[in-house]
Structure 1
Amino acid sequence: MTTTAPDAPPARSSLRRGHWIDHWDPEDATFWERTGAKVANRNLWYSILSEHIGFSIWTMWSVLVLFMGPEYGIDAAGKFFLVAVPTLVGSILRLPYTMAPARFGGRNWTVVSAALLLIPTVLAAFVMQPGTPYWVFVVVAAVGGLGGGNFASSMANINAFYPEAKKGWALGLNAGGGNIGVPVIQLVGLLIIATAGTSAPGILLGIYIPLIVVAATFAAIKMDNITSMRNDTGAFSEAVRESQTWVMSFLYIGTFGSFIGYSFAFGLVLQNQFGRTPLQAAAVTFIGPLLGSVIRPVGGWLADRYGGAKITFYNFVGMGVSTLVVLAASAADSLALFTVGFVLLFALTGVGNGSTYKMIPAIFRGQARVAIESDGADPGQAYLRARRLSGAVIGIAGAVGALGGLFINLAFRQSFMTAQSGDPAFWSFLAFYVVCIAVTYAVYLRPAPAHVALAGV
């Protein structure tokens, strides 16, 4: 059943003022077929491009550390800390980036956030050479966190363009296309190391500078702002008071936190635990993030079809099993089995990323149904609130979830410092996945309150 806000004329075209769209009602089936789908899909593709470059810049230090040979004088612990710094900054930036589309417009902020990526890229081009003080590397890596914020604003923006029935696939495609920026920059780094050696990190940075300009330009020309989102910053404070925000943020630590943390750490783990050279590590580092990125829309699609909570629950079970495979491989000193287990773990993080993000709009739309059916709330206002909260919670969960990447890299740093192995870190990750399994079941799968039963999660 399609619900149309009473004050929105049904089936009319979007009213446009330049790049601003004044009328947007994706739940109106006629509006969606006539106008909405075409506009939403166009914004989706250019959002993916910008977010893709953002992820590449955010994770570029996972590649740059592979160029840092003995002449840089940085040990394994120092490198793990170096890749943890942009994770922390990117996580923090996701909170203000979540509110930016509502304040400035989704298209406008995409242009700005894409252009800002020039700063960490140009700075890195200047400092990537032996003899640079370690603190300078830390500062420049921190600026690289700018790329981590793009995800939050992009997802909040795209969430507003799509109807509930299509959010899982659209958000999964948007996030997956962005996540692919991780393996792409790692693959580019591999090609550079294989052809020019570890002394040429400037080539990598020189490739991305014009790509950033292209992404910002296309966003300016092709994307739109939705007027109803503007100045809707009150949704953020409302979302902070909503308990479901923190449950979903916790689960997202397990899925996306694992994805981004492992993306930063995989190459360093292979080098330090199995003695791989930078080229040997780079040759497989990109495989896990690539699978995790490509499969993310599948997680959204599965959640659309079978329910996000079920997919998320069984996905965490799979992540726990995969972690046990990694630990068994480590005990047997089997690089092949270790790589298989780690890559499988990556793939499951992608599925979980898609399913958890599908759950967020479903939960708040379920709350809207309860308000309409039990309390007599106005349908238009109830569903508008659901869209507002969904966008805010997506940003908050993205920020909190990304902090998981920081914890993973700090855990690896401590693990290698004390045990010269990643095993203690993996045991801690396994324990966390067990807790995620329990939380998913307790909150969403056992007999639950009405707002969950109607949410379709």
Structure 2
Amino acid sequence: MNPSKPLPNTWLTRWEPEDPQFWETQGKALAWRTLWITTFNLTLAFITWFVVSALVVRLPNVGFQLSTAQLFWLAAMPGLAGGTLRIIWTFLPPMLGTRHLVTFSTLLLLAPLLGWAWAVQNTATPFWLLMVLAFLAGIGGGNFSGFMPSTSYFFPKKLQGTALGIQAGVGNFGVSVVQFVTPWVIGFALLGSLLGDPQTFTRGEVSKPIWLQNATLVYVPLVLLGAVLAWFWLKSVPVRANFREQFDIFGDKHTWIMTSLYIMTFGSFSGFSATFPLLIRTLYGKFEGAPDPLSFAFLGPLVGSLIRVLMGPLADRYGGAIWTQVSGIGLLFSALGVTFFLRPTSLEQFPWFVLFMLLVFLFSGIGNASTFKQMPMIFEPRKAGGVIGWTAAIAAYGPFVFSSLIGAVIASTGSATGFFYGAAVFYAINIGLNWYYYARKNAEKPC
């Protein structure tokens, strides 16, 4: 594609959101339209990315012969894929533009959604194929690093915290949606028997029919709608760069510092979102009257997503660095609090475990919003978009790292305590980095 010859009906010839007159007369309406359409598609992307975490807790009960380690690997694989694909998606906004990127990336979600709908109907589906489908679910994670930077191009700096907070926060709701909707939608037949026969769910003496394929098929029409909206209603701003030109972000130390900070915040959000259901099942599932993991797991992502939306305007008003500091300190103490409830002796400890996990999600959501305010203030627009995409890519490994490490720590020690202690040390390091470079008086890059 030749940047000097924009495609008709796709690339805008002028975009100056920092010009007040341009913003009021031409920019504002298109920017907000772009935000809402892209946010709708990003929500579907997060649903696809985390649908595996909602399915894996049901697979053993319908006849899949999977070990605890295999279940954690299935929960981890979308994170590995999401992080890897985000690295690629990071470089696509200035090359493809918002319209083409959002449209085609959304259509790609059909592959894992349809694939899982087919796989869960046959308990003989081999583990390797389930892993491939779990990897394809990571496409939803990859989309974030394309959608967020491209949206950042549309807004002036004074509104970046609000806009990106709304988009990422509402998009993050996809995690709660999939974990909340799944138990309900798998309980009845959609369109009669047209979409497949039920599976038999067995737990203890309870046996009932469920339709696991519904967990993904219900989103297929919405994905098609999102792609249509993107194709007909989105435009692309004239921010262009080839693949090689975008590598200049890696020569700036602040790219790496912000990467670490976003691992602390979004890495925690995505990692614990993927593992929360399995943690509940593994730690508290042994007790009589054990809680249904999905009845509680959706609360964590819900809290983290909601606070991310609410924190956007506050980050615009007071700056991002101070809120990132609050986030780090809160994560540190919340992670340490969880460790007191990782070797339960009764269900009486379960509410405290859930409470401290919800605090982890709360403080990660605060930091998710504040870091995305910091990056547009530290870097110029094109670099800021690249850094947003890159940091999001690396932090997206959270589900893979958290799931695999927690599974390994539990297997070797019988408890996840060691993992949470390690996370607390990492949080402490990032508290120091943020304070020194961004939050303290006379910091190098106050933001």
Q: What TM-score results when the alignment is normalised by the length of structure 1?
A: 0.87
CA shift for structure 1 position 175: 0.6
Correspondence 1:24 to 2:15: yes
Classify the secondary structure of the residue corresponding to 1:300.
helix
Alignment of structure 1 residues 57-456 onto 2, 5 Å: 57-70=48-61, 71-128=63-120, 129-192=122-185, 198=201, 199-226=210-237, 228-275=238-285, 280-330=292-342, 333=345, 334-364=349-379, 386-448=380-442, 452-453=445-446
Q: Which moved more, 1:72-81 or 1:159-168?
A: 72-81
The one-letter amino acid paired with 2:107 is A
Per-residue deviation, residues 325-351 of structure 1 (Å, max 9, x unmatched): 211233565100000110111111111
- Go from structure 1 to structure 2 and tell me whether the alpha carbon gap of 1:235 and 1:166 turns closer, same or farther (over 3 Å shift): farther
Q: Is the 8 A contact 1:254 1:404 kept in 2?
A: no
Deviation of the 1:234 alpha carbon: 4.8
1:449 to partner: Cα distance: 5.8
Structure 1 residues 139 and 271: CA distance shift in structure 2, 3 A:
same
Which SS does the other structure have where 2:16 is aligned? Answer: coil
1:290-339 deviations in Å (ceiling 9; x for gaps): 11111112232222122211110111101111112211233565100000
- 2:164 aligned partner, one-letter code: L
What CA deviation, in whole Å up to 9, does each residue of 1:12-35 have, x standing for no partner?
xxx994232111000001111111
- What TM-score do you get using the length of structure 2 for normalisation? 0.89
Question: What's the offset of the Cα at 1:278?
Answer: 9.0
RMSD of aligned C-alpha atoms? 1.9
The SS at the match of 2:57 is helix
Which amino acid in structure 1 is aligned with residue 250 of structure 2?
Answer: V
How far apart, in 1, do the equivalents of 2:324 and 2:296 lie?
27
| Whole-angstrom CA distance in 2 between matches of 1:267 and 1:156 | 30
Q: Give the letter for the 2:226 counterpart.
A: A
- Deviations along 1:86-139, one digit per CA (max 9) or x if unpaired, are 101110111221221211111111000000000111111121131211111111
Supply the distance in 2 between the matched residues of 1:278 and 1:109 (Cα, whole angstroms). 44
**Is the contact between residue 186 and residue 214 of structure 2 (CA under 8 Å) also seen in structure 1?**
no
Question: Matched residue of 1:295: which SS?
Answer: helix
CA offsets per residue over residues 224-267 of structure 1, 9 Å max, x none? 111x2234545521111111111000111110011111111000
Which amino acid in 1 is paired with 2:67? Answer: D
For the residues of structure 2 that align with 1:193 and 1:319, how far apart are their CA atoms? 34
Contact map agreement 2:284 2:290 (CA 8 A) in 1: no
Q: Does the aligned pair in 1 maintain the 2:284–2:344 contact within 8 Å?
A: no
After TM superposition, the runs of 4+ consecutive aligned structure 1 residues lying more than 6 A away are 276-279
> Letter of the aligned partner of 2:272 in structure 1?
Y
- 1:309–1:355: 8 Å Cα contact kept in structure 2? yes
Change (3 A) 1:231 1:443: closer
- Taking only the aligned residue pairs, the percentage that are identical comes to 33
Structure 2 CA distance for aligned equivalents of residues 235 and 316 of structure 1: 33
Stretches of structure 2 lacking an aligned partner (at least 5 in a row)? 1-5, 190-199, 202-209
